[in-house]
Structure 1
Amino acid sequence: MEVTKTQKSELKKVCLGCGAELLYAPGTTKLVCEYCGNEETIKPQRDGFEELELKPYLDKVGGQSHSEVISMLQCKNCGANQHIEDHYKSLHCIFCSMPLIVEDSREEEWILPGAILPFQVDRKEAHLVFKKWVDGLWFAPNKLKKAVLSPDLIRGLYLPYWTFDAYLDADYIGKRGDYYYVTVPYTTTQNGKTVTRTRQERRTRWSFASGSVNGFVDDTLIKASNQKTGNIPRGVAHWNLRKLEPFDSSYLSGFVTEKYTISLKQGHLESNEEMYAIATQWARRDIGGDEQRITSLDMRLSEETFKHILLPVYISTYKFKGKQYSFYVNGENGIVSGQRPYSFWKIFLLVLVILLAIIVIVKVSQ
């Protein structure tokens, strides 16, 4: 039977007061009209998250009832796939600021997100975080510190991730190392005489170890997109997944949504590597002792499920003296990171001051 594809994330929320589009207000459960102030509450879904069985999707990705069709624009410069809401009049890539041509949009099928972490920080707050970050930069050019960047240049983006759950069983063979100490004599010269002394040296006693470990691995997080530019810094890419909400397209209103470019199959392979590392950790803990060596580990996964989730970040790309820089603000906790220019003259003067100080100290000591 052919499955009917839906377009839930394409539906615009219209204000009943004036007909304008309602936008999601970060940190709330409300949609707000920017024109007349009308509000609409996002009703929580009682069903909770739906973990999708992994195998059917790996066999035939997209041929299931949890897929939908959305309109996408691909940046020809960095390759990012972005779904941009209609109210953005000037369309530019959120990662590299290259213009996007509406006529180049195409319809694509994607696996419907199972959960979303709504923005908790609004655009004005993100702008203030950026300004504070700029003010705190050492050796930043004065012109950069004096720059007043409009909050409109900061864009909210939902990033796609895969999460994988599985029950993990693993059998291991290895060795357990326990420390012990021995007294070792050594000779040294003292006042022209050879003296024998002793010292304690650490040794490791190795013994055979084998066993089994098992347990449930929840929400192994795997990045689901990759571009030539605009990779999110590790310091920003930390979210509290306990704040995830069941997916509702209302949370997308007013934000850009990036489509995954790393396939479910590839994401699953990466999650297996993560789970193998977890199994190795469990095996080391099970062996105990001071050191452990794993010579063989046979891992098995069962009851595998996955979710496609969306996580929030603000991005701004700015140019300074002809060079492009980007900065990022985590849309949940406000953590900031980014690229920055340096002032050659400030660094040069600092080095010069240090050299002069060294010269003065040397002359005084003489």
Structure 2
Amino acid sequence: MTTEETTPASGDAAPEAAEHQPATPPQGFVILETPEGSKDGVVRCPKCGASEVAFSESTSQLFCTFCRNRWAPDSLDQIMGLSEGIGELKGTVVTTAAVDITSSETIVTFKCSGCGAEVVVDTAHNLQARCHWCKHTLSVNNKIDNGAVPDGILPFTVTKQQAMALISEFAGKRKAYQHPEFRASFKPENIMGVYMPYMTVDGNVHVLLEGEGEILRRTERVSDKETRYHADVYAVKRDLDAEIDDLIVETSADKINIHSTESTNNIINAILPFDVKNIVRFDAGYLGSEYSSEKRDLNVEHVQGYAAQHFLTIARNAVKESTKQYDRGIRWEYEELNVKGSRWTSVLLPVWLYGFVETRGGRQITHYIAVNGRTGAVMGSIPINRAKALLVSWGTAIGISIITWPIAIALLLLA
């Protein structure tokens, strides 16, 4: 048995317990104009004017397949100064593509500047289409009201071959208990490159933390079964201003639900972080024919609470250095967050995904293995062979019992 004894230090009193205060929502709504990207419609090479533009993973640049010219825009952070002025933010500032979604319409029609034909782009599935007459590629590069076009995009640098190798290695280390159907159907070449919708959030916040901290003074061994810990308890308070840069928040409703019973898409959170400082102005040329993208379906108001929780987590971590003397830990009993200002930018981040659908107990569960399209970080969910796992568990338990029971009986007889 372990008992604990705590003694208040002289002159210090434990703070009164208080209810957790909800985050104060930012006031105001200001739009920060995102510079225009490539014009909608035909995107031409700036050197020769050809419309055969593709994306190179090895250089993270766009290139002309006709004259081989390569180019890359400046980072969105540099263009818009998104790392500056965080301490002066007031209210809610949103970039052009981060404003509320106001339309569910996914069909956009362009007049091809090459031949004059009208070309339809279904933005629910792609942001590019090829003119059926002159074969020019037309792109949607600027904000539309259904949330399909972001402010920026972080291009893939991990190639499909590299992602296939990483996923094969991940699955190979877990062969022992793999579901037989998964093992039989596993084909890493079925991996897909997907740009996932996120927002980067800057926050100018004020945080108040109050709680109890304990400092261990001595340990007393009473008996073989009892140890007493003597500690001083202090009232601890931290009041701080924080400037938070580039918090990443998911803006897809089905991905933000980490408790889903239908899929394991929450593993995407395990392959963070992304080097968001290298995000560039969105251009549909980065999608090409190999990658797909998901459009966001959540507005800023839907994810403000999620961001506030992370602001508090960051604040708690920020005060660790000044509270390390409390070697028995701190229990924060009162937390208050005031978001004085925030800035929201809509972006697409690169993820390689491999999926497998398992049927279990009459319902289907989709398992995912994900690879960070920039760093190569891998995490996934692999369905297990439950019968084999149960057999091994029982076998191990029986084996241990065969060894330990005779020893236990012998000790009882000798006692």
TM-score by length of 1: 0.66
**2:177 counterpart residue number:** 139
Aligned residue among 53, 59, 65 for 1:28: 59
Tell me, in whole angstroms, the C-alpha distance in 2 between the residues paired with 1:321 and 1:211.
50
CA deviation profile, 1:52-87 (whole Å, cap 9, x unmatched) = 9774657x99797x99999748xxxxxxx9442446
Residue 330 of structure 2 corresponds to residue 296 of structure 1: no
CA deviation profile, 1:16-65 (whole Å, cap 9, x unmatched) = 9997743322242333578x79453224358434549774657x99797x
**1:103 counterpart residue number:** none
Aligned residue among 247, 258, 266 for 2:281: 247
CA deviation profile, 1:166-221 (whole Å, cap 9, x unmatched) = 22223444344222126576699xxxxxxxxxx97321212334452223122222
CA deviation profile, 1:96-126 (whole Å, cap 9, x unmatched) = xxxxxxxxxxx74339634432111122222
**2:314 counterpart residue number:** 278
**1:312 counterpart residue number:** 350
Tell me, in whole angstroms, the C-alpha distance in 2 between the residues paired with 1:177 and 1:25.
56
Tell me, in whole angstroms, the C-alpha distance in 2 between the residues paired with 1:24 and 1:148.
28
**2:215 counterpart residue number:** 178
Closer, same or farther: CA 175–10 of 1 in aligned 2, 3 Å = same
Closer, same or farther: CA 326–37 of 1 in aligned 2, 3 Å = farther
Does the 8 A contact of 1:115 with 1:244 survive in 2? no
Structure 1: gaps spanning 5 or more residues: 74-80, 89-106, 189-198
Match runs of 1:183-332 below 5 Å: 201-227=228-254, 229=263, 231-234=265-268, 236-241=270-275, 243-249=277-283, 250-254=285-289, 255-283=291-319, 285-287=321-323, 288-290=325-327, 291-318=329-356, 325-332=367-374
TM-score by length of 2: 0.59
**1:336 counterpart residue number:** 378
Q: The residue matched to 1:266 in structure 2 has which SS?
A: helix
Tell me, in whole angstroms, the C-alpha distance in 2 between the residues paired with 1:302 and 1:352.
57
Closer, same or farther: CA 257–68 of 1 in aligned 2, 3 Å = farther
Does the 8 A contact of 2:220 with 2:229 survive in 1? no
Does the 8 A contact of 1:182 with 1:201 survive in 2? yes
Does the 8 A contact of 1:239 with 1:332 survive in 2? no
Of 345-354 and 311-320, deviating more is 345-354
**1:191 counterpart residue number:** none
Of 156-165 and 295-304, deviating more is 295-304
Identity %: 15
Q: State the Cα distance separating 1:361 from its structure 2 match.
A: 7.7
Match runs of 1:52-63 below 5 Å: 55=91
Opposite residue 79 of structure 2, the aligned amino acid is G
Q: The residue matched to 2:306 in structure 1 has which SS?
A: helix
Tell me, in whole angstroms, the C-alpha distance in 1 between the residues paired with 2:246 and 2:73.
25
Residue 71 of structure 2 corresponds to residue 41 of structure 1: yes
Tell me, in whole angstroms, the C-alpha distance in 2 between the residues paired with 1:259 and 1:347.
39
Tell me, in whole angstroms, the C-alpha distance in 2 between the residues paired with 1:289 and 1:313.
41
Closer, same or farther: CA 205–308 of 1 in aligned 2, 3 Å = same
Q: The residue matched to 1:48 in structure 2 has which SS?
A: helix
Closer, same or farther: CA 258–10 of 1 in aligned 2, 3 Å = farther
Tell me, in whole angstroms, the C-alpha distance in 1 between the residues paired with 2:223 and 2:294.
66
Q: State the Cα distance separating 1:353 from its structure 2 match.
A: 7.5
**2:195 counterpart residue number:** 158
Tell me, in whole angstroms, the C-alpha distance in 2 between the residues paired with 1:141 and 1:289.
47
**2:10 counterpart residue number:** none
Q: The residue matched to 2:271 in structure 1 has which SS?
A: coil
Q: State the Cα distance separating 1:258 from its structure 2 match.
A: 1.2
Aligned residue among 117, 122, 127 for 2:164: 127
Tell me, in whole angstroms, the C-alpha distance in 2 between the residues paired with 1:18 and 1:10.
15
Structure 2: gaps spanning 5 or more residues: 1-32, 108-122, 131-143, 255-261, 408-415
Aligned residue among 187, 196, 200 for 1:149: 187
Q: How many residues align?
A: 325
